[in-house]
Structure 1
Amino acid sequence: MTHGSIPASAPRLPHVDALRGFALLGICLVNAPVIAGTWSLTEGAGAAPWDRTAVWLVTALVTTKFYLLFAFLFGHSFVFQEAGARRDGVPFARRHARRLLGLFLLGLAHALLLYAGDILMTYAVLGLVLFAVRRADPRALLGVAVALVVLLTVMLVVIGLVASGTEGAGQVSAHALKEMQARQSAWYRSDVGGAVHANIAAYRQAFAGALLYGPHLLAAMLTGLAAARLGWLDPARSTPPSAAGGRLLRLGLLIGLPGGVVTAMCSHGSLDARYFYLGQAVDILTAPALSAAYATVLLSLLRGRFGPRLAGALAPAGRMSLSNYLFQSAALAFVFTGYGLARYGTLGPAALACGCVALWASQLAFSASWLAHVRYGPMETVLRRVTGGRRRTVGGRGGESA
């Protein structure tokens, strides 16, 4: 793939699918505490030290880093989606619009029924921006991505400075948060109607967050689009080149890791709620470095001795990442809300994190078994029907998907 080119065909890239499969673990670790209502269990002097540690580690090492990785891969897949439309002889604009509509509707159902923090609707809206800039120079896309990160960081710093200088702001926010948590807990534990009502109420706050952090997602998507145009993940090249990989690892250790520590301190550490937005500003600025380091390590492992085995374990889950993303929410909603066991707010973060690892491992095994017999995951099949994608037999070539 040369500078600014679109490949004539779009075979799946196993290492990209493996990255997606790996990112599913981080997504589960971040989404699960919200669905399960565990964050409040770390408040107060009676919180177990292992629960405090789990929350701190997830915030420092996982939160933000993995949704950026997913957004990067979404932008990266755009080039292959366009190539697939060209290969199939259908107008890309129409297929892309139908695909985004399908994502939006799935996201809407996901937010109302299972998890108010849905990301699919945001992807659908930002996908329109990707279409608008698809012919832009890759280096210009990278410049815009950097500008978006810097501008959002500055905005959060300003908000944080105002909040840190306001006496009592943290206490008022904490009181309002406790009242909201009490209402949500009662709703989620009641029945299906209560869970849906709680999701609708929670979505109002989630929508504000989507607006605030949308530029960060867009920056990752633009970087992914530029990476595809420039061939950064081209299997014909070193993925990534060793010198570039070394730089990314150093950035992750010297910038991303300390940034995660500061963010955790502002959210769950020694600093009170007045410094939350300052911590978020640090997170916005430094999380991309740690995300890139994670990707670099995994890609290096995939090129090593056990690379084929690792790819075989991770890639199937990445190929059906949409199904796995929605199934995570469905499984968690069954355990913690009125859809099933109604255990909302009863499981500590440490135990929940272990459960997330077990859920992710089961998804790896299930995905491999499913794709051994069927070409696409169940929700990927639904989305392909909506977009008008051609049906392919097992063994045929299929383009990379988000």
Structure 2
Amino acid sequence: MSPSSRIPAMDVLRGCAVMGILWMNITAFALPQSAYSNPAAAGPLSGGDIAFWAASLILVDGKMRGLFAMLFGASMLLLIDREEMAGRNGARTQMVRAGWLFAIGVAHYLLLWWGDILMLYALVGLVALLFAQREPLALVKAAFLLFLLHFLLVAGFIASLYAWSHAPGDAQGFTRFIAALSDPGSPAIRQEIALYRGDFLPILRHKLAGLPGDWLWSFTMTALETLGFMLLGMAMLKGGFLTGRWNADQYRRTARHCFAIGLPPMIALALWVWWSGFAPLSALGTALAWSFPFRIPLSVGWAALILWLLARAPGHALVARLAAAGRLALSNYLGTSLLMTAIFYGWGLGNFAHVRPAALPLFVVAGWAAMLLWSQPYVRRFAVGPAEWLWRSLVRAQPQKIRRSS
């Protein structure tokens, strides 16, 4: 998308989303994977550790990812329109883009971080193409059908774990599974810590060995949800919501209603997990399934809140910096993976599992500062970010212009 055709409101939303994703991803960068859903896997918890987990679960987990997926779906429509106005086949270009995005995602997964979302977006985006011509109401209906199917899938998985816990046959297997979810002294968690405190090549070999199974499992647990949010984003673009065309009061009322729907049950779920002593099935069930219905209004609520603030203060200095970070969303996403793995993995500074959850916001704020400080000066001189330039050049099969015209 050329600079002149950009939609400032969507750039700001995208900047906020990529920053919010760092808040949630920081746990998976710095601690064993199980700590993402259950902080008990990181060891004895302080009040600060619990507060960070609760704030993440209630306000951020899945909500920024949902916002990012909505923006991805909306951007697909804008790119298709732009291609067709230029006399090219918009759907075909989008498929080529998806193929190269998948390749970038594979490189990101193998070389930097196991939590890549680019491969997921590339494949799910191809399915979303089938819905591009639908009217907003039809898109919303399809999105909520997908949300229902996703909830049934993840709730069924959690129910199967509860059934396993009461099955007479494999008590030792279930005990090992539960320990890997919550016991920092379990062999699985100790092995994970040793791996990520080690050198680059063992980490790469581990990810190569687990790529088909581990990635397919993650894809299965997230694809329907992601597709639903992409279709919701398409509907919100067609209705003018994401482009900032609503007035400030409409955004304020939408944000108020969405947070009123989503926040009380999320707070109740956090209290339930805490009162359970971070019981593994309670924590995992909340992270995967029980919180999901409230993730939908809260994702929309965050978008409405950000757009309301933008409508109230469009000339604020922070707005330009957020928009610049949003224009460089792919570069910022990959850049934070490089920065955080260099801080926490053994091939870098080796801080993996050495930093308590309560201290992780310090790294998030540092990452936010880096995004906001470099993005704006960069976009003054360059038309696209370095990762965006690579992606665009691969799609066009020739190097694209990166510098702005003088």
Same fold (TM over 0.5): yes
Q: Could you say which residue in structure 2 is the equivalent of 1:260?
A: 266
Sequence identity of aligned pairs in percent?
28
* 1:91-106 → structure 2 map (5 Å cutoff): 91-106=89-104
* 1:2-401 → structure 2 map (5 Å cutoff): 11-37=5-31, 39=35, 42-43=40-41, 46-164=44-162, 166-167=165-166, 171-177=175-181, 178-200=186-208, 203=211, 204-235=213-244, 237-239=245-247, 242-243=249-250, 245-253=252-260, 255-265=261-271, 270=276, 272-276=279-283, 278-279=285-286, 280-305=288-313, 307-388=315-396, 391=401, 394=404
Structure 1 residues 164 and 215: alpha-carbon distance in aligned structure 2, compared to 1, 3 A threshold: same
Looking at structure 2, the residues matched to 194 and 258 of structure 1 have their Cα atoms a distance apart, in angstroms, of: 44
* Structure 1 vs Structure 2 CA RMSD: 2.7
Show CA shifts across 1:127-170 (max 9, x none). 11122221122211110101111222233333334434534687
Task: Give 5+ residue unaligned stretches, structure 1.
Answer: 1-8, 397-402
Q: Which secondary structure does the structure 2 equivalent of 1:149 belong to?
A: helix
Report the alpha carbon displacement of residue 307 of structure 1 after superposing the two structures with TM: 4.3
Q: Which secondary structure does the structure 2 equivalent of 1:303 belong to?
A: helix
Report the alpha carbon displacement of residue 296 of structure 1 after superposing the two structures with TM: 1.2
Q: Could you say which residue in structure 2 is the equivalent of 1:4?
A: none
> How many residues get paired?
386
* Counterpart residue identity of residue 8, structure 2: P
Looking at structure 1, the residues matched to 4 and 239 of structure 2 have their Cα atoms a distance apart, in angstroms, of: 15
Task: Give 5+ residue unaligned stretches, structure 2.
Answer: none
TM-score (norm 2): 0.87
Report the alpha carbon displacement of residue 335 of structure 1 after superposing the two structures with TM: 1.0
Looking at structure 1, the residues matched to 338 and 262 of structure 2 have their Cα atoms a distance apart, in angstroms, of: 32
Structure 1 residues 131 and 43: alpha-carbon distance in aligned structure 2, compared to 1, 3 A threshold: closer
Q: Which secondary structure does the structure 1 equivalent of 2:361 belong to?
A: helix
Report the alpha carbon displacement of residue 206 of structure 1 after superposing the two structures with TM: 4.4
Looking at structure 2, the residues matched to 256 and 302 of structure 1 have their Cα atoms a distance apart, in angstroms, of: 22
- Indicate conservation of the 8 Å contact 2:136/2:238, yes or no: yes
* Counterpart residue identity of residue 85, structure 1: E
Q: Which moved more, 1:322-331 or 1:51-60?
A: 51-60
